[in-house]
Amino acid sequence: MSIATVSTQPIGRFAPSPTGELHLGSLTTAIASFCHIKSLGGQWLLRIEDTDTERCDRQFAEQILIDLEALGLQWDGDIIYQSERIDIYNDYINSALRPLTYGCQCSRKDLEQYWSQEQQRPHCTHNRLPPNRHRYPRCCVTADLDRQQHKLRIQLPNYRIGFNDGIQGIQWDNPQQTLGDMVVRRQDNMINYILAASLDDGLQQITHIMRGLDILPMTTAQISIMQAAGLPAVDHWYHLPLICNPDGQKLSKQNLAQPIDTRNPSQLIAHALKLLQQPTVDRDTPENMLKQAITQWDNTPLQHKHQLNLPNL
Ligand code: GLU
């Protein structure tokens, strides 16, 4: 009798959206997820999250690969480009996720009107919420609108889901309260990022996800989507503190964080490891510095931290 074997090798990934070049924030995520999964003897996969065709650019994706290679961050296996997998996401939307998804015709303007009317009503419970926290009021949930002609929303569960975050500790969150019935496919057929990430993390059998804290509010939605899609659960979650300017502002493409300069890769690696509060490594080639960082990798100094500030120069 043959017994099917399940791989027990840890699998992690780095999943940048090529909406700009790598900056120190995204670089620390790459280095941390690489060193951590390698310290467990695992594989580090690379996935380019480029479903948002308006904001993503192939040139940025190419530059990200060049930078990772210059820094000795060598990924395992083939790179996945989400823009080439749209049919796979639509297959899930039309099969396993079909009972949970529905067409919606509410425009942003309709919803703004809805909420401003709600707020004027006496004893309205919603008016304690700031306007941007308004969740979709489910006007179309039973309307049975044509799925191809409209954007699609997914019904997220209205109960708390818990998971143990290896950096931030035990987390509980109700995805319906936090996100509401979020849009998973726009009317122009663009697939929402968290839907694609959830399906790919399951399909790639990712066991360890280490990513920025900015994505933590979407994690229970991801857990419920993966479960509804019948995909294997991610066993280990880690949300890294965000890298911030000395004044506490998060480094991001939106606030024009400087792209990394890989002309001195060893210095860049030393800088990122210091920011990540790891023991120092000897100055060497990027590959050798990373090898040493892997043997010394320790999540403890990051525990329960929400941000890491760059020093004042
Ligand atoms: N693509 C996301 C980003 O670049 C990261 C997604 C994830 O790690 O789950 O911010």
- For residue 234, give the CATH number of its domain: 3.40.50.620
Atom of ligand 1 at shortest distance to CA of 197?
Answer: 9
Residue 262, in any domain of the structure: yes
15 C-beta closer than 6 A to ligand 1: yes
Q: Which residue has better confidence, 308 or 247? A: 308
Residue 152, in any domain of the structure: no
CB 46 within 8 A of CB 75: yes
Per-residue pLDDT of 249-307, as tens digits, reads 888 766 667 899 999 999 999 999 999 999 999 999 999 999 999 999 999 999 999 99
Which pLDDT does position 123 carry in this prediction? 56
Ligand 1 site-directed mutation target among 14, 29, 49, most atoms within 8 Å of CB: 49
Number of domains in the chain: 1
The radius of gyration of the chain from alpha carbons, rounded to an integer in Å, stands at 21
Instruction: Calculate how far, in angstroms, residue 139's C-alpha sits from the geometric centre of ligand 1.
Output: 30
Q: What average pLDDT does this structure show over 77-100?
A: 98
Domain with 279 in it: 11-92+161-172+195-309
Residue 178, in any domain of the structure: no
310 C-beta closer than 6 A to ligand 1: no
Ligand 1 site-directed mutation target among 33, 60, 83, 211, most atoms within 8 Å of CB: 211
Residue 32, in any domain of the structure: yes
Residue 135, in any domain of the structure: no
Which pLDDT does position 133 carry in this prediction? 59
Residue 275, in any domain of the structure: yes
Which pLDDT does position 5 carry in this prediction? 52
Residue 133, in any domain of the structure: no
The long-range contacts involving 137-145, CB below 8 angstroms and separated by at least 24 positions, are 137/111, 138/180, 138/181, 139/104, 139/106, 139/114, 140/102, 140/103, 140/104, 140/105, 140/106, 141/102, 141/181, 143/102, 143/103, 143/105, 144/102, 144/103, 145/102, 145/103, 145/104, 145/105
Sign, Cα dihedral of 32, 35, 36, 42: positive
Per-residue pLDDT of 114-164, as tens digits, reads 888 887 776 555 545 454 457 899 999 999 999 999 999 999 999 999 999
What's the whole-model pTM score?
0.93
Confidence of residue 6 (pLDDT cuts 50, 70, 90): low
Residue 234, in any domain of the structure: yes
